[in-house]
Amino acid sequence: MHRLIPTLTALLLLAACRAEPDSGAILAARQRAIDPPTLWLLQDLSPTGQVRAATLVCADTPMRRTFLRARAEIEGAECRDLAPPVAIPHGVTERCVADGRRYAFATQTLGDPTADFRLTVSVTPLGGEAGPGAVTRHYRRLGPCPPTWQVGDQTAAPAAMR
């Protein structure tokens, strides 16, 4: 009987340690099969088109869709829409308010959003206290993500890509 207890205890411990499939890993593998993530080069451009900074990002379809959207934010404060956004060729324009000040906010996309495009976001204060500002970002699909990367992984791009 005394020999049976340690044997049963060992069997119970082994059963408890048996590895269950990781449901998160299973879901991630299924998602990769359905929507393989791709590696994108994101370049922040100066007003003259020079690359200021570059980042490599692994993105699936939902993340790539965010590349085309920009929410208006002024000095960290959300710019709340005053009216529904208006579609313009290759973009959207809207009026918003942040910290009691009104702004015109516009986005414009040029190129192929599935492979290589530029997104320009411009903000113009409507009170006359400051001039307009704009930021342009260039997005280019490079191919599959490195095998060890997950969606959302990113790193600074090599100097040759800047």
Residue 28 has pLDDT above 90, yes or no: no
CA distances from 57 to 68, 71, 72, 104, 117 (A): 15, 20, 22, 30, 15
Q: Is residue 123 part of a domain?
A: yes
Mean pLDDT, rounded, for 131-135: 87
pLDDT band (50, 70, 90) for residue 82:
very high
**Long-range contacts formed by 43-47: CB under 8 A, 24+ apart:** 43/137, 43/138, 43/139, 43/140, 43/157, 43/161, 43/162, 44/135, 44/136, 44/137, 45/118, 45/136, 45/137, 45/138, 47/134, 47/136
The angle at the Cα of 7, spanning 5 to 8, to the nearest 5 degrees, equals 65
Q: How many domains does the chain have?
A: 1
Domain assignment present for residue 7? The answer is no
Amino acid at position 141, single letter: R
Residue 128: the pLDDT is 73
pLDDT at 142 over 60: yes
Residue 69, domain extent: 37-161
> For residue 20, is it within any domain?
no
Confidence check: pLDDT of 65 > 70: yes
Residue 72 predicted with pLDDT over 90: no
Q: Is residue 143 part of a domain?
A: yes
Does residue 22 form part of some domain?
no
